C-alpha cells in the first residue's frame, strides 16, 4: 500500500476527474512551480516537474506535489510508494493517484470492482494476485498500471506494450524506474527515508532536495542549478521563491482556508483574495473585480458570475462528464454519452449536431467516425 495514509479528493489523477476543469481553479504559475488555489475545497497545491525522459511510446515524467488538503501536508512524488492501492481498506480498494487524488473501488458480491464516478478506469484482480488498472480516457488513456498483491505500483504499460518498471529497495523506498528503452532513473534517500536526489539515465542529477526541521521540502535544485525555495508556517506552505528572487506568497484565514495568493509582477505583488459562503466561493482579482463560483455537493462547478454580472453555467452527468454548458447570452451546448461514457453527440445553440461513432467492439472507447452538422462522415484514427 502507499507509504503514507494521505487522501485528497481535491487533487486529480492527471486530467481526472473531469470536474477538475481549468475554470474551476486559479493558477499563478512560477517558472518551475505552480501554486494553485482551489475554489471548491479551499486548499493550496503546488507542483514541480522534476524530470522528463523521452521514451519509446511512453515517456517518463517525475513530478512533486504539495497539497494542503492532505492530512499531513507533506510533499508527494508522482511515482513510487506515494502511488498505489490500499488493499486492506474497509470497502474494496483505495487507489492513490500521482497527485494525491484518491478514490475507492467498491467490491461487488461477485468479487469485481465498480469503477468510481469520473475516473473512467477499470480495476481487476489477476489470477496471480496482482492488480491491473486500465485507464479508458484522460492523460493515461489506454495505459495499464500493475500493482503487487500488497498494492505497490510496479509497472506502467501503454497500448503498444511499452513499459516503465518501478523497482524498490529493501527498505520499501523507490530505487529506480527502468523506462521503455531500458534506461534507469535512480532515486537517493537520506537516513530518514526522504528523497534527496533523482539521477537521470546518464548519471546527471536531475533534481536535488533539502528539508526543513519539520520534514517539508525546503529547496529543490534542478539540473541547471536553479533553486526553488519553499517557506512554511508550520506545515502550511506560505511562499515559493524562484531562482531570480520572484516570490509567490499564500495565506490562510482563521478557518484554515486559502485567503490570498500573491504573485510577482513588474509593478509589485498582485494579490487574489478568496472568501467562502456555503457552496459559493468569491474570488477578488488584483484589480478588485469579483467573480462568484457555485459548486454542487460533489464539488463540481455549476456556475460562475463575473464582475459584470454575466453568468455561465454547466450541468453534469452521473459520471461527472459535462452534460450542457450555457454562456452569458443564454446559449446552450448539450453533450450526449453512451453507456460507456463515450461522447456520442453534441448540439449547438443553432440546433446543428455532430455525432461520434464507436464501431470497434474490441476498443469500445475509441471513436471510429465523426459526422458533422452537414451530414458528412469522416473516419477517426
Domain membership of residue 379 (yes or no) is no
Q: Is residue 341 a part of any domain in this protein?
A: no
Nearest residue to 191 (alpha-carbon basis) of 176, 177, 205, 211: 211
pLDDT for position 69: 61
| Mean pLDDT score, 130-151 | 94
More confident: 43 or 99? 99
Q: Which residue has the cell 523507490?
A: 174
The candidate with the shortest Cα–Cα distance to 152, out of 1, 50, 357, 36, is 1
Higher pLDDT, 133 or 171: 133
pLDDT band at 21 (very low <50, low <70, confident <90, very high): very low
Tell me which DSSP letter residue 289 carries: -
How many Cα neighbours within 13 Å face the side chain of 165?
A: 9
Residue 120 falls inside a structural domain: yes
- Furthest C-alpha separation in the chain: 66
The three cell numbers of residue 328 are 452569458
- In whole angstroms, what is the distance from residue 194 CA to residue 187 CA? 10
Q: Summarize the confidence of residues 240-261 as an average pLDDT.
A: 89
Handedness of CA 210, 212, 217, 218 (dihedral sign): negative
Among all chains, which residue has been given the C-alpha cell 510496479?
Answer: 154
Alpha-carbon distance values, 198 to 123, 178, 341 (Å): 30, 13, 39
In a domain, 71, yes or no: yes
Within a domain: 270 = yes
Of the pLDDT bands very low, low, confident and very high (cuts 50, 70, 90), residue 63 is confident
> In this predicted model, which residue has the larger pLDDT, 361 or 30?
361
Q: Give me the pLDDT at residue 109, please.
A: 86
- Rounded (10°) CA dihedral 216, 46, 221, 179: 110
The pLDDT confidence band at residue 22, using thresholds 50, 70 and 90, is very low
Query: Does 358 have pLDDT greater than 80?
Result: yes
- What grid cell was written down for 368? 471510429
For residue 122, pLDDT over 90 is answered with yes
The predicted pLDDT at position 44 comes to: 64
CA triple 60-65-67, angle to 5 deg: 155
Residue indicated by cell numbers 477578488: 284
**Which residue has 456556475 as its cell numbers?**
303
Question: Closest Cα partner for 16 from 160, 187, 143?
Answer: 143
Burial 339-378 (b: 16+ CB within 10 A, else e): eebbbbebbeeeeeeebbbbeeeeeebbbeeeeeeeeeee
24 — phi, psi (to 5°)? -110, 10
pLDDT classification of 30: cutoffs 50, 70, 90: very low
Place of cell 495505459: 143
Instruction: Categorise residue 172: left if φ over 0, alpha if ψ from -120 to 50, beta otherwise.
Output: left
Of 241, 264, 240, 262, the C-alpha closest to 251 is 262
Q: Residue 36 pLDDT > 80, yes or no?
A: no
CA–CA gap between residue 206 and residue 223 (Å, rounded)? 5
Residue 15 confidence (pLDDT) above 80: no
Lowest-pLDDT range, 23-27, 105-109, 263-267, 350-354? 23-27
**Domain extent for 54:** 22-330
Mean pLDDT, all residues of the chain: 85
Q: What pLDDT is recorded for position 33? A: 42
In a domain, 346, yes or no: no
Asked if 43 contacts 69 with a C-beta cutoff of 8 angstroms, the reply is yes
Nearest CA to 3 out of 131, 182, 128, 174 is that of: 174
* Model-wide pTM > 0.85: no
Domain total for the chain?
1
Identify whether 342 is part of a domain.
no
Span 304-323, average pLDDT = 94
Does 252 score more than 90 pLDDT? Answer: no
pLDDT for the residue numbered 27 = 32
Q: Which residue has the higher pLDDT, 184 or 15?
A: 184
Tell me the pLDDT band of 46, cut-offs 50, 70 and 90: confident
Q: Is residue 343 in a domain?
A: no
Query: Cis (ω within 30 of 0) for the bond into 126?
Result: no
DSSP assignment letter at 22: G
Amino acid at each position: 500500500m502507499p507509504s503514507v495514509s494521505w487522501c485528497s479528493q481535491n487533487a486529480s489523477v492527471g486530467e481526472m476527474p473531469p470536474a477538475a476543469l481549468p475554470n474551476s481553479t486559479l493558477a499563478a504559475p512560477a517558472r518551475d512551480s505552480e501554486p494553485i488555489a482551489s475554489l471548491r475545497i479551499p486548499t493550496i497545491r503546488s507542483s514541480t516537474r522534476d524530470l522528463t525522459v523521452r521514451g519509446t511510446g511512453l515517456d517518463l515524467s517525475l513530478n512533486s506535489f504539495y497539497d494542503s488538503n492532505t492530512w499531513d501536508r507533506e510533499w508527494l512524488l508522482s511515482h513510487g510508494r506515494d502511488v498505489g492501492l490500499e488493499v486492506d481498506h474497509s470497502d474494496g480498494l483505495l487507489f492513490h493517484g500521482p497527485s494525491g487524488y484518491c478514490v475507492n473501488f467498491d467490491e461487488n458480491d461477485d468479487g469485481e470492482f465498480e469503477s468510481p464516478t469520473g475516473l473512467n478506469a477499470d480495476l481487476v484482480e489477476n489470477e496471480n494476485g496482482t492488480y491491473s488498472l486500465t485507464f479508458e480516457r484522460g492523460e493515461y488513456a489506454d495505459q495499464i498500471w500493475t500493482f503487487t498483491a500488497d498494492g505497490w505500483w510496479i509497472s506502467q504499460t501503454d497500448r503498444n506494450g511499452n513499459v516503465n518498471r518501478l523497482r524498490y529497495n529493501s527498505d520499501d523506498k523507490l530505487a529506480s524506474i527502468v523506462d521503455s528503452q531500458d534506461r534507469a532513473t535512480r532515486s537517493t534517500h537520506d537516513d530518514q527515508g526522504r528523497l534527496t536526489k533523482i539521477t537521470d539515465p546518464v548519471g546527471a542529477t536531475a533534481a536535488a532536495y533539502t528539508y526543513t526541521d519539520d520534514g517539508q521540502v525546503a529547496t529543490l535544485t534542478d539540473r541547471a542549478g536553479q533553486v526553488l525555495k519553499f517557506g512554511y508556517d508550520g506545515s502550511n506552505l506560505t511562499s515559493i521563491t524562484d531562482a531570480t528572487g520572484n516570490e509567490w506568497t499564500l495565506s490562510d484565514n482563521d478557518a484554515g482556508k486559502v485567503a490570498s495568493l500573491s504573485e510577482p509582477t513588474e509593478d509589485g505583488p498582485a494579490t487574489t483574495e478568496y472568501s467562502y459562503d456555503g457552496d459559493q466561493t468569491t474570488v477578488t482579482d488584483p484589480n478588485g473585480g469579483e467573480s462568484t463560483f457555485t459548486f454542487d455537493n460533489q464539488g463540481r462547478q455549476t456556475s460562475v458570475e463575473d464582475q459584470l454580472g454575466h453568468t455561465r453555467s454547466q450541468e453534469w452527468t452521473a459520471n461527472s462528464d459535462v452534460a450542457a454548458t450555457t454562456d452569458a447570452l443564454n446559449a446552450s451546448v448539450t453533450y450526449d454519452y453512451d453507456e460507456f461514457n463515450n461522447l456520442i453527440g453534441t448540439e449547438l445553440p443553432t440546433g446543428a449536431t455532430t455525432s461520434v461513432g464507436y464501431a470497434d467492439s474490441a476498443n469500445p472507447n475509441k471513436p471510429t467516425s465523426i459526422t458533422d452538422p452537414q451530414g458528412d462522415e469522416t473516419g477517426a484514427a
